[in-house]
Amino acid sequence: MHGGLGSKDRIALLDELTRKTLWLSNWMIHHANHIRPNVDGVKVGGHQASSASMTAIMSVLYFAVLRPQDRVAVKPHAAPVYHAIQYLFGKQSLDKLENFRGFGGAQSYPSRTKDSDDVDISTGSVGLGVAFTAFASMIQDYVRAKRWAGKDIPEGRMVALVGDAELDEGNVYECLLEGWKHNLRNTWWIIDYNRQSLDGVVREGLYERIEATFRAFNWNVVTLKYGVLQRQAFAEPGGDRLKAWIDACPNDLYSALMFRGGAAWRERLEDEIGDQGAVSALLKRRSDSELAELMANLGGHCTETLLEQFEALTAEQPTAVIAYTVKGWGTPLAGHKDNHAGQMTEAQIDALRTSMKVRPGHEWEPFEGLGASPKELRAFLDGAPFNTKSSRRLASTRVEGIGPIPLDTAVTSTQTAFGKILDAIAKTDSPLASRIVTTSPDVTVSTNLGTWVNRRHLFANRELADVFQKERIPSAQKWQFSPEGQHIELGIAEMNLMLLLGAAGLSHSLFGERLIPIGTLYDPFIARGLDALNYACYQNARFLLVGTPSGVSLAGEGGAHQSIGSPLIGMAQDGLAAFEPAFADELAIIMDWAFDYMQRDGEARPDLAGWPRDIAGGSVYLRLSTRPIEQVPRKADAALADGIIRGGYWLRPPDPSCEIVIAYQGVLASEAIEAAGRLGGDRRNVAVLAVTSADRLNAGWHAAQRARMHGDDTATCHVEELLRDVPGRAALVTAIDGHPATLGWLGSVFGHRAITLGVEHFGQTGTVRDLYAHFGIDAAAIAAAAQRFAGGRR
Ligand SMILES: Cc1ncc(C[n+]2csc(CCOP(=O)(O)OP(=O)(O)O)c2C)c(N)n1
Ligand SMILES: [Mg+2]
């Protein structure tokens, strides 16, 4: 801790460190763009002005205010400031700074998974990191309310350092509404209010809108408009006139004058208020550079103001700090409307270096040019509460599974089976049952989470009775809210679902307690939350995402709700293993496996010829259906279970006379089986390949190809094992209630001819039978496709 330091000394040291982070962040960008050789002619980039805007805010937070248990999302383009701070702490290497934005170097935007310097929350797609902090706070409350939670981990504050234009993103407001519903606490959003975005200066009057919005959601709003220098000047005779002028000054003019500097400020101020005695004297008492410093002394750049205000913040009410800043503060880029991606010239960086008292050749030295002694600075950095010796990433013990849940039923849908499996888990008092947290954006009942919720109740940090139950109104749903509850009910915003799954899926690392999060939504609406889903995967969060119902099989719900491309999303999304089971026993096996897979954390080995993530683990996506189909009477043995998890198995294996293979994924199992029956009879061998995961089959195939390219001739994969015994003259007919490209690649594995059936156009209302016939995915269409091929025809 910073024991023994007077507040003046503390402020002086923080000022010095702010200068240093300003220098290092700007130099890092300059070095990457102008000194490191550019081998391919593509710009490297980096944001000097955006970084400068936040140096004081971040220095005060990291060097003095934050505690190890706090978790922070830094606005993406202030990454250089973050890396510079970690470098000063001794947690980032010079090598990585020199390689900023390079291969293996410090990342362009702070990354939990790719950076090595203790990033809490990744950012990049603006707005998501901001909202993530709110959901992380809800998850912290959720975990701490549970009896099983360790009590020795202190409660942290979830902090977002927000660019003001990030508030344009709709997901920020969706999350404000959800936060209000869930009594959000412990959340600080510190807004870098530089009134500039990428393309220019923001509209006048934005401040009032922002403030009113936060207050409407019961947030505390703290505005840091004036620094100490300004407040002192306002107290001088004539100071009230200066203050009134500043308050009335339009954003773009303030920025323009900031860019032009002291002489321009004087000219303008004297023009507008200079004939008024006291204020003229006030201006005259200052040199041009002092005047420029005064006008740049906004709240967000004043160490004293920042420190005082941050230290006074409390946990209970969420707080927005609107910190007025200048984009490019302290550099020649200050205030220019085009400064977002603008960078200093050689001459400008030289001038900045000189003003920072940094000698050429000593640019990376941590304490070069600072007034305080290196010993004093090192002691101050070592004493910062945030700068712990041990890792701030936590861990949790594994939650054991309970094995696949057997369901004895002749006809069912995967969605019904999903509800029953969860219900069966809910009845146990297993650790698995207690660590599952479910969530859904207003489709809890219609995705079959209802019985789980009846048993495990809803989460709220305050007790809330089910009024309908109290009033004795019969209902199948018992909606009781309590801190012990295990379902987090969300409003309809799918972005919020994905953000919550992201936060819950990192609970073990952020809060030291493992959760097994399960989120359900209608399959087409995955697209609505896709960026946040990608973001959750990028952060390596672990969850089970259930999209149901899916495809045109939901029939009567119509074209607007029929998902076509989601199997391809499942294949293409890194970090997400996608399955589309057809039968209840497959689902039970996949869910049991998923609970384990979600907890794996071995070293990723992309060279592995199997499924590349089997050691590293990841999240899982299940595409389910409401359409009941006849089940296959069987007892799944180990070999079948293995095939289901690897992505496919022979429902009817090929023999040497095989001419046709029907490969299907998901609910078209019944059509595939029927078509095979029609075609085959007793005479001909028609094989049926059940694909449970085109994603895993495909990834394994790519990995095997890569391994062979690298000289491992023995490498093979599951899909090759499966198709190896299919005679070369046989043809494949693939079928899916989704985009045909999902399975279309199967023909390339060994060059079998293939015809690929699926859905490519928006559906319409109708029965399953109508729609399958319309899109050519019914048994008749599958059989007709196969007939074309029979006898070797193309
Ligand atoms: C979702 C998304 N859209 C666009 C971008 C590109 N982008 C990066 S920063 C930025 C402007 C941000 O302005 P602001 O938040 O005010 O940050 P400042 O640089 O002014 O601090 C934009 C449009 C992005 N990163 N993410
Ligand atoms: Mg801005």
pLDDT, one tens digit per residue, over 267-323 is 999 999 987 789 999 999 999 999 999 999 999 999 999 999 999 998 789 999 999
Query: Is the C-beta atom of 674 inside 6 A of ligand 1?
Result: no
Question: Does 609 have pLDDT greater than 70?
Answer: no
Ligand closest to the CA atom of residue 75: 1
What is the average per-residue pLDDT within 631-642? 96
Query: Is the C-beta atom of 157 inside 6 A of ligand 1?
Result: no
Return the pLDDT at 360: 97
Mean pLDDT of the chain: 94
Q: Name the residue of 51, 107, 108, 126 whose CB sits within 8 Å of the most ligand 1 atoms, as the mutation to test its pocket.
A: 126
Question: Does 3 have pLDDT greater than 70?
Answer: no
Cα of 415 vs its chain's centroid, Å: 27
Query: Is the C-beta atom of 520 inside 6 A of ligand 1?
Result: no
Token output for 609: 């010829």
Give residues with Cβ within 8 angstroms of 517, minimum separation 6.
Answer: 436, 437, 438, 439, 500, 501, 504, 505, 507, 542, 543, 544
Question: Which amino acid, one-letter code, is at 404?
Answer: P
Q: How far apart are CA 652 and CA 694, in angstroms?
A: 18
- Residue owning the nearest CA to atom 19 of ligand 1: 50
Query: Is the C-beta atom of 125 inside 6 A of ligand 1?
Result: yes
Q: Check: CB of residue 66 under 8 Å from CB of residue 307.
A: no
Specify the residue for token string 């008749």. Answer: 780
Q: How far is the CA of 165 from the centre of ligand 2 (A)?
A: 5
Q: How far apart are CA 20 and CA 59, in angstroms?
A: 9
- If you compute the radius of gyration of the chain from its CA atoms, what whole number of angstroms results? 30
Q: Name the residue of 195, 198, 199, 251 whose CB sits within 8 Å of the most ligand 1 atoms, as the mutation to test its pocket.
A: 198
Q: What is the number of the ligand 1 atom nearest to the C-alpha of 198?
A: 11
Q: Name the residue of 47, 50, 193 whose CB sits within 8 Å of the most ligand 1 atoms, as the mutation to test its pocket.
A: 50
- Give the β-pairing of 686-691 and 648-652: antiparallel
Q: What is the number of the ligand 1 atom nearest to the C-alpha of 127?
A: 1
Each residue's pLDDT tens digit, 343-392: 999 999 999 999 999 999 999 999 999 999 999 999 999 999 999 988 99
What is the average per-residue pLDDT within 514-521? 98
Report percent pLDDT > 90 for the chain.
85
Where helices occur in 562-668 by DSSP H, the ranges are 566-572, 584-597, 638-646
Q: Check: CB of residue 588 under 8 Å from CB of residue 423.
A: no
Q: How far apart are CA 523 and CA 446, in angstroms?
A: 12
One-character DSSP codes across 290-345: HHHHHHH-BGGG-HHHHHHHHHH--SSS-EEEEEE--TTTTSTTTT-TT-SS----
Ligand closest to the CA atom of residue 328: 1
Q: What is the number of the ligand 1 atom nearest to the C-alpha of 194?
A: 20
Token output for 249: 């000054």
Each residue's pLDDT tens digit, 734-756: 999 999 999 999 999 999 999 99
Query: Is the C-beta atom of 327 inside 6 A of ligand 1?
Result: yes
Return the pLDDT at 466: 74
pTM of the model: 0.96
- Give the β-pairing of 731-736 and 753-757: parallel
Q: How far apart are CA 785 and CA 776, in angstroms?
A: 10
Q: How far apart are CA 789 and CA 339, in angstroms?
A: 63
From residue 449, give the alpha-carbon distance in Å to each of 424, 454, 477, 541: 12, 9, 10, 22
Return the pLDDT at 233: 97
Nearest to 733 by CA among 669, 792, 783: 783
Question: Does 596 have pLDDT greater than 60?
Answer: yes
What is the average per-residue pLDDT within 545-565? 94
Question: Does 792 have pLDDT greater than 60?
Answer: no
Query: Is the C-beta atom of 160 inside 6 A of ligand 1?
Result: no
Q: What is the number of the ligand 1 atom nearest to the C-alpha of 192?
A: 21
User: For the chain, how are helix, strand and coil distributed in percent, rounded to 5?
Assistant: 45, 10, 40
Residues in the chain: 794
Q: Name the residue of 51, 194, 327, 340 whose CB sits within 8 Å of the most ligand 1 atoms, as the mutation to test its pocket.
A: 340
What is the average per-residue pLDDT within 511-516? 97
The conformational region for residue 205 under phi > 0 = left, psi -120 to 50 = alpha, else beta, is left
Return the pLDDT at 665: 98
Q: How far apart are CA 369 and CA 431, in angstroms?
A: 57
Specify the residue for token string 């701490």. Answer: 144
Ligand closest to the CA atom of residue 198: 1
Q: Phi/psi at 754 (nearest 5 deg)?
A: -145, 145
Query: Is the C-beta atom of 108 inside 6 A of ligand 1?
Result: no
Q: How far is the CA of 504 from the centre of ligand 1 (A)?
A: 26
Each residue's pLDDT tens digit, 703-712: 999 889 989 9
Burial 48-69 (b: 16+ CB within 10 A, else e): bbbbbbbbbbbbbbbbbbbeeb
Q: How far is the CA of 126 from the centre of ligand 1 (A)?
A: 6
Each residue's pLDDT tens digit, 61-113: 999 999 999 999 999 999 999 999 999 999 999 999 999 999 999 999 999 99
Give the three-state DSSP class for 691: strand
Report percent pLDDT > 70 for the chain.
97
Q: Check: CB of residue 101 under 8 Å from CB of residue 28.
A: no
Q: How far is the CA of 201 from the centre of ligand 2 (A)?
A: 8
Each residue's pLDDT tens digit, 185-198: 999 999 999 988 88
Query: Is the C-beta atom of 251 inside 6 A of ligand 1?
Result: no
The 3-state secondary structure of 235-293, one letter per residue: HCCCHHHHHHHHHHCCHHHHHHHHHHCHHHHHHHHHHHHCCCCHHHHHHHCCCHHHHHH
Q: How far is the CA of 292 from the centre of ligand 2 (A)?
A: 21
